[in-house]
């Protein structure tokens, strides 16, 4: 099954970002992808954290959800909508949510980002907990490819990548592919991005697909990019450094079986 990670450099305006996302989704469909995954914050990277509050949606209602459902149906794609702000019980916070749409246009899974990024090196400061409510549970879904092969897909977002216990939970659930839509800062991405993604693939003997924000944004923030696809042996199959575009690759069920059979580390877990 061919899959695509969509790299973006989202601005502050939702409609412009959705138009950019639609163009990339069309490219993915034309390239033969069955699954296309957008990056974290594809809807908008605002001038300030409170901008998320104005864009929040309720389940089943809102322009971004309508956009994702329509694109999935019109393009015949499975689409994972990076993240969008979803209403929480706290009026000052939103969930940072990944929604999964089947080619029918039906929303089949929702994951709220569990781990909230905080970073302060004296020059850059981020604290997602100021405006984001944390999710509480891992989520995976099953995808049947056009050839009849069934894939189990685990959801995660950006900072989750630093917490291997989440990905181990996905492995225990039989996950074959792990998604990591992200907006890594340039500073942390240069240091840790590829290292962490390859580690999650190797230790869980699974494919990892990570679409990212990649470039200098309208609000002045610079993200690392380097969207990539990693196979279960830790090999990078495709990568894009910066700027909008696609990372494409093929999931190979026989390759996955081969790697798991020759090194059955998941069967050797003790703790």
Q: Which of these is catalytic: 34, 52, 57, 113? A: 113
CA 193 distance to own-chain centroid: 14
- Residue 218 annotated among the catalytic residues of the structure: no
The CATH class for the domain spanning 2-268 reads: alpha beta
What pLDDT shows up at residue 45? 96
Burial 51-86 (b: 16+ CB within 10 A, else e): bbeebbbeeeebebbebbbebbbebebbbbbbbbbb
Tokens of 153: 């897909």
Average pLDDT on 119-137 reads 95
Split at pLDDT 50, 70, 90, the class of 182 is very high
Split at pLDDT 50, 70, 90, the class of 86 is very high
Q: Which of these is catalytic: 52, 107, 128, 158? A: 158
Residue 39 has pLDDT above 90, yes or no: yes
Distance CA 238, CA 28 (A): 14
pTM beyond 0.95: the answer is yes
- Residue 158 annotated among the catalytic residues of the structure: yes
Q: Which of these is catalytic: 40, 57, 128, 242? A: 40
- Residue 107 annotated among the catalytic residues of the structure: no
Residue 271 has pLDDT above 90, yes or no: no
Q: Which residues contact 264 (CB under 8 A, 6 or more apart)?
A: none
Domain ranges of the chain: 2-268
Q: Which residues contact 269 (CB under 8 A, 6 or more apart)?
A: none
């Amino acid at each position: 099954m061919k899959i695509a990670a969509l790299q973006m450099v989202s601005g502050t305006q939702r409609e412009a970002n959705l138009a950019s996302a639609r163009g990339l989704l069309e490219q993915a469909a034309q390239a033969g992808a069955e699954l296309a995954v957008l990056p974290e914050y594809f809807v908008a990277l605002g001038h300030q954290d409170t901008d998320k509050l104005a864009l929040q949606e309720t389940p089943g209602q809102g322009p971004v959800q309508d956009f994702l459902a329509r694109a999935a149906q019109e393009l015949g794609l499975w689409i994972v909508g990076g993240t969008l702000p979803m209403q929480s019980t706290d009026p000052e916070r939103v969930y940072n949510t990944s929604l999964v749409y089947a080619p029918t246009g039906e929303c089949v899974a929702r994951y709220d980002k569990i781990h909230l990024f905080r970073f302060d090196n004296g020059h850059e400061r981020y604290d997602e907990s100021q405006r984001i409510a944390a999710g509480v549970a891992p989520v995976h879904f099953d995808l049947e490819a056009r050839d009849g092969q069934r894939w189990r897909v685990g959801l995660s977002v950006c900072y989750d990548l630093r917490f291997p216990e989440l990905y181990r939970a996905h492995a225990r659930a039989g996950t074959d592919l792990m998604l990591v839509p992200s907006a890594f800062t340039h500073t942390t991405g240069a240091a840790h991005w590829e290292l962490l993604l390859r580690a999650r693939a190797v230790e869980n003997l699974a494919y990892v697909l990570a679409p990212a924000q990649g470039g200098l944004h309208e609000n002045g923030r610079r993200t690392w990019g380097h969207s990539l696809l990693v196979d279960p042996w830790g090999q990078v199959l495709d990568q894009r450094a910066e700027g909008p575009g696609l990372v494409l690759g093929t999931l190979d069920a026989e390759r996955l079986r081969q790697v798991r059979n020759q090194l059955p580390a998941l069967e050797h877990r003790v703790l």
